[in-house]
């Protein structure tokens, strides 16, 4: 177990996430996925994750060390805040070089091809570089709830997740800890790690960091939150480059892993899943985002149109996003996606709406 600094908070958050997992399980394990199809050439028995080859030739460790060195004047995310994390300084994301983990457990609220029958093995990393005012995980991403863990512990958590039967290692908010992730995988492979790595990111990534992940990550799970730089700036702590950089990042992710096509067992082992959270008053720019995806990626790109926007954390200070979305807002989002020509839509429906 990770050593606990605040076990009350930790237990409370664990229970909270279990509750949400069960809540989501009721609704989203029976999704309406338009155009769902499976591939014939992969299944759980013959899947070999990309990182095994990189481990064998020493490249995985070299890349982890290269990323680690960048924490001296950190530029691991587009903030490029330059904190010397190696000397203990905390950056804009509130992280220094010490890994902090909020918790881990089988998650049954993720997309069906990630959940399967054993769950997606979610590991929640503490802190975040984007810092959105409406973050549903704000206690973890912005209040620093979590416990310090070394690389060996991180590796052991990955192996634990594998042992309990999850289908993947789903690393939530990974960007600021990308060096730790690579080094932990490198430690876990000799002990038998063989699950695909899910890079569950806000989408706001640097291309040079993504290149270091090429051949390590099998499944990219980015958000595509905003089309308009002004919205990104307003609701995500000044991140006006979000639309521009996220487009570049998603193209690179697709280049690396391709379209997400589940295997015969219904489980996804490789590919790109884009998440888009519909926001009130068209703040997210859903129409433009769907149009961009359809014009720049294959039409059967897996897109999850999410309806569960909830005005938590600081969202109440912004009247235009201080409510849930309406059925009409969700319906028009789905229509825009279909009209754009997208054929593989994960449609959550109206279960989260009043």
Among positions 28, 102, 120, 129, the unique one binding ligand SF4 when judged by CB under 6 A: 129
Q: For ligand SF4, what does the binding mask look like between residues 169 and 208, x meaning CB under 6 A?
A: -------x--------------------------------
Q: To the nearest whole angstrom, how small is the minimum distance from the Cβ of residue 252 to ligand SF4?
A: 18
Burial class (CB in 10 A: 0-12, 13-18, 19+), 180: buried
Is residue 239 near ligand SF4 by the rule CB under 6 A?
Answer: no
Options 21, 28, 95, 246; binder of ligand SF4; rule CB under 6 A = 95
Name which position in 31, 49, 91, 285 contacts ligand SF4 (CB under 6 A): 91
Stated as kind and residue range, the H or E segment containing 169 is strand 169-172
**83-91, 231-239, 288-296, 300-308 -> range binding ligand SF4 (CB under 6 A):** 83-91
Q: Is 74 in the site for ligand SF4 (CB under 6 A)?
A: yes
DSSP 48-107: --THHHHHHTTHHHHHHHHHHHGGGG--SSTT-----GGGT---TTS--SS-EEEEEEEE
DSSP reduced 3-state for 31: coil
- Give the H or E element holding residue 275: strand 271-277
* Among the residue ranges 7-15, 55-63, 89-97, 208-216, the one whose residues contact ligand SF4 (CB under 6 A): 89-97
Which window, 14-22, 80-88, 135-143, 161-169, contacts ligand SF4 (CB under 6 A)?
A: 80-88
Rounded CA-CA distance 40/266 in Å is 11
| 330 within 8 A of 353, measured Cβ to Cβ | yes
First to last CA, the chain: 40
Shortest separation between residue 81's beta carbon and ligand SF4, angstroms: 3
Nearer to ligand SF4 by Cβ, of 67 and 257: the residue is 67
125 interacts with ligand SF4 by CB under 6 A? no
DSSP state of 269: -
Q: Which of 79, 105, 275, 344 binds ligand SF4 (CB under 6 A)?
A: 79
Residue 277 to residue 284: CA distance in whole angstroms: 7
Nearer to ligand SF4, 173 or 286 (CB): 173
Residue 77 Cβ vs ligand SF4, minimum distance, rounded to whole Å:
3
Tell the burial category of 27 from Cβ atoms under 10 Å away from its Cβ (0-12, 13-18, 19+): middle
Count of residues engaged in binding ligand SF4, rule: CB under 6 A: 15
Residues that bind ligand SF4 (CB under 6 A): 74-77, 79-81, 83, 85, 91-93, 95, 129, 176
């Amino acid at each position: 177990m990770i050593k606990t600094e605040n076990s009350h908070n930790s237990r409370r958050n664990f229970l909270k996430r279990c509750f949400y997992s069960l809540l989501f399980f009721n609704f989203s394990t029976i999704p309406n996925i338009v155009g769902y199809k499976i591939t014939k050439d992969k299944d759980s028995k013959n899947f070999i994750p990309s990182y095994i080859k990189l481990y064998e030739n020493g490249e995985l460790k070299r890349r982890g060390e290269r990323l680690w060195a960048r924490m001296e004047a950190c530029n691991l995310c587009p903030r490029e805040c330059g904190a010397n994390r190696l000397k203990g300084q905390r950056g804009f994301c509130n992280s220094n070089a010490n890994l902090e983990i909020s918790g881990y457990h089988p998650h049954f609220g993720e997309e069906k091809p990630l959940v399967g029958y054993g769950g997606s093995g979610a590991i929640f990393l503490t802190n975040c570089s984007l810092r959105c005012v409406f973050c549903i995980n704000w206690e973890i991403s912005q209040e620093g709830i979590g416990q310090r863990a070394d690389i060996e512990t991180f590796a052991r958590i990955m192996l634990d997740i594998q042992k309990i039967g999850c289908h993947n290692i789903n690393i939530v908010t990974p960007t600021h800890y990308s060096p730790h992730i690579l080094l932990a995988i490198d430690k876990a492979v000799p002990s038998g790690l063989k699950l695909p790595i899910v890079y569950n990111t806000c989408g706001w990534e640097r291309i040079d960091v993504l290149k270091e992940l090429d051949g390590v990550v099998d499944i990219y799970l980015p958000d595509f939150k905003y089309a308009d730089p002004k919205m990104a700036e307003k609701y995500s702590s000044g991140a006006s480059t979000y639309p521009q950089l996220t487009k570049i990042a998603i193209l690179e992710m697709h280049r690396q892993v391709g379209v997400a096509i589940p295997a015969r067992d219904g489980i996804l082992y490789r590919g790109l899943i884009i998440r888009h959270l519909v926001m009130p008053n068209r703040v997210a720019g859903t129409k433009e985002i769907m149009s961009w995806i359809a014009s720049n990626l294959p039409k059967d790109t897996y897109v999850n149109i999410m309806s569960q926007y909830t005005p938590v954390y600081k969202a109440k200070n912004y009247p235009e996003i201080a409510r849930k979305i309406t059925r009409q807002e969700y319906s028009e989002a789905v229509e825009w996606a279909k009209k754009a020509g997208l054929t593989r839509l994960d449609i959550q429906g109206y279960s989260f709406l009043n």
